[in-house]
């Protein structure tokens, strides 16, 4: 049966030629002739297309979290309103976009790794460049798999033997089952361990550097419950990046003024608008605004509040009335101010601070180290340090609250909610009727798209989601 499908797909692709990529036509069958990759330069060009395929779920994941509240304008955008309410159709559509984008990136990275074997560097410089290309291809695969795992598999706390995602190691059309969560973690760790061995410090943040790989390893080990390893990698990131002294006001503000800046470890270059789906129009305002509780939690003078909250005076419902909308800053402010968004920040050095603090909290008997880690960071952001009396779950909850204030609108909160929803964040959504999603709700795990299991009978669907047969 699989051979028949393979032949049918090959014929269909031959007919469609240059048709845009969809999961109906597996991406492994859509790249150019392997003989075109004959040098380090052409290999880098192919890798650039893998970076370009990365999806940008930051906005949608923030909508699904508690970063935002709806405004009176939400009734004019039913799709966005339904996503905010966790309706199954928009979540299913989002799943298709994300699954497709990540696996397209993985397919191209696999092609790079297979084709660079035949390249013979002419000098030491080319040899170093080729090593960097291969290291980045592995790191990019790991980045994609880590996001896929956290989106499309149950949380690792629910059992490492449960179905994770499909691991594709070769550049060819395969019909593989989902590997276990533990197997996925092991494979991601292997990719990152191999990548981190290569010294690689690109001139721009548009490529994943060795430092970025270290940060990804810290995140992975925190997720996997390997807290000592997470502390080790997070400390290495901070000590090899000027430590906390990197977190200056200038460097932070540069992130939200159109550039990458020294705090960025990996940013995706973009030439298309980003975050415009949040706005109704410049006269009325946005469909969503930063939640009132979150906005009120910033101290006066906190750099994060100044960059994350963008108050806009807008006309009210009656003549002469004005209202102040708590618009999101960051990318959204750049859109309001007509500032060009040239990059989307995928990984920032500050992530290591939170990995460090969370890992210390979860290790037990390391509350002092956790408070030191987070307070060093808060001082640089001109925010109030955490109370020295905080310990245990109360300290961890405070750390996660500060993390939300740092990453509001960047999608990070959703991952924390999924991971901690049965523990320190168990009271999530109690004050918002639209966000009372039970900790056991099946929608915390996104559905495997029909376009994947339609051709691959070995793929299982996630619990609660239907597996449509035709």
Q: Which residues of 169-198 are buried (b: 16+ CB within 10 A; e: fewer)?
A: eebebbeeebbbbeebbebbbebbeebbeb
> Residue 408: pLDDT band by 50, 70, 90 thresholds?
very high
Domain 2-271+345-425+444-453 has CATH 1.25.40.390: yes
pLDDT, residue 15, reads: 31
Q: 21-35, 180-194, 349-363, 421-435: which has the minimum mean pLDDT?
A: 21-35
> Residue 433: pLDDT band by 50, 70, 90 thresholds?
low
Tell me: pLDDT of 25 over 70. Answer: no
pLDDT, residue 173, reads: 62
pLDDT tens, residue by residue, 318-371: 777 889 999 999 999 999 999 999 999 999 999 999 999 999 999 999 999 999
> Residue 6: pLDDT band by 50, 70, 90 thresholds?
very low
Phi, psi of 170, rounded to the nearest 5 degrees: -120, 155
pLDDT tens, residue by residue, 80-97: 999 999 999 999 999 999
pLDDT, residue 170, reads: 64
pLDDT, residue 16, reads: 29
Helices (H), 309-431: 330-336, 350-363, 367-380, 392-407, 412-420
């Amino acid at each position: 049966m699989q051979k028949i499908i393979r032949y049918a797909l090959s014929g269909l692709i031959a007919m469609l030629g240059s048709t845009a990529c969809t999961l109906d036509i597996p991406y492994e069958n859509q790249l150019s002739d392997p003989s075109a990759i004959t040098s380090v330069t052409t290999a880098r060009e192919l890798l650039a297309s893998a970076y370009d395929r990365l999806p940008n779920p930051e906005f949608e994941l923030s909508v699904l979290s508690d970063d935002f509240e709806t405004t009176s304008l939400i009734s004019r955008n039913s799709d966005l309103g339904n996503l905010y309410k966790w309706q199954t159709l928009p979540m299913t559509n989002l799943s298709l976009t994300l699954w497709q984008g990540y696996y397209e990136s993985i397919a191209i990275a696999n092609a790079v790794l297979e084709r660079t074997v035949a390249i013979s560097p002419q000098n030491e410089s080319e040899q170093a460049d080729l090593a960097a290309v291969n290291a980045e291809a592995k790191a990019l695969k790991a980045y994609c798999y880590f996001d896929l795992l956290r989106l499309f598999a149950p949380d690792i706390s629910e059992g490492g033997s449960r179905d994770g995602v499909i691991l594709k190691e070769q550049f060819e059309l395969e019909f593989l089952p989902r590997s276990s969560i533990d197997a996925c973690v092991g494979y991601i760790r292997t990719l990152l361990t191999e990548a981190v061995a290569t010294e690689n410090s690109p001139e721009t943040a548009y490529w994943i550097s060795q430092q970025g790989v270290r940060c990804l390893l810290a995140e992975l080990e925190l997720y996997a419950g390997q807290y000592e390893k997470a502390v080790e990698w997070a400390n290495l990131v901070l000590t090899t990046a000027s430590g906390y002294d990197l977190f200056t006001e200038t460097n932070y503000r540069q992130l939200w003024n159109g550039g990458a800046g020294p705090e960025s470890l990996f940013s995706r270059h973009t030439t298309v608008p980003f975050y415009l789906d949040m706005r109704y129009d410049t006269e009325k305002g946005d469909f969503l605004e930063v939640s009132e509780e979150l906005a009120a939690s910033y101290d006066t003078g906190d750099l994060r509040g100044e960059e994350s909250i963008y108050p806009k005076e807008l006309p009210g419902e009656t003549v002469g009335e004005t209202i102040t909308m708590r618009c999101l800053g960051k990318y959204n402010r750049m859109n309001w101010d007509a500032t060009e968004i040239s990059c989307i920040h995928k990984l920032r050095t500050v992530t290591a601070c939170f990995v460090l603090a969370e890992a210390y909290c979860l290790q037990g008997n390391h509350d002092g180290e956790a408070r030191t880690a987070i307070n060093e960071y808060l001082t640089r952001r001109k925010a109030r340090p955490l109370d020295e009396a905080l310990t245990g779950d109360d300290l961890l909850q405070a750390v996660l609250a500060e993390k939300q204030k740092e990453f509001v609108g960047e999608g990070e909160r959703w991952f924390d909610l999924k991971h901690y929803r049965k523990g320190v964040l168990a009271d999530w959504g109690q004050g918002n009727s639209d966000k009372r999603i039970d900790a056991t709700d099946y929608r915390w795990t996104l559905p495997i798209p029909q376009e994947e299991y339609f051709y691959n009978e070995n793929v299982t669907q996630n619990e609660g989601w239907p597996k449509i047969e035709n």
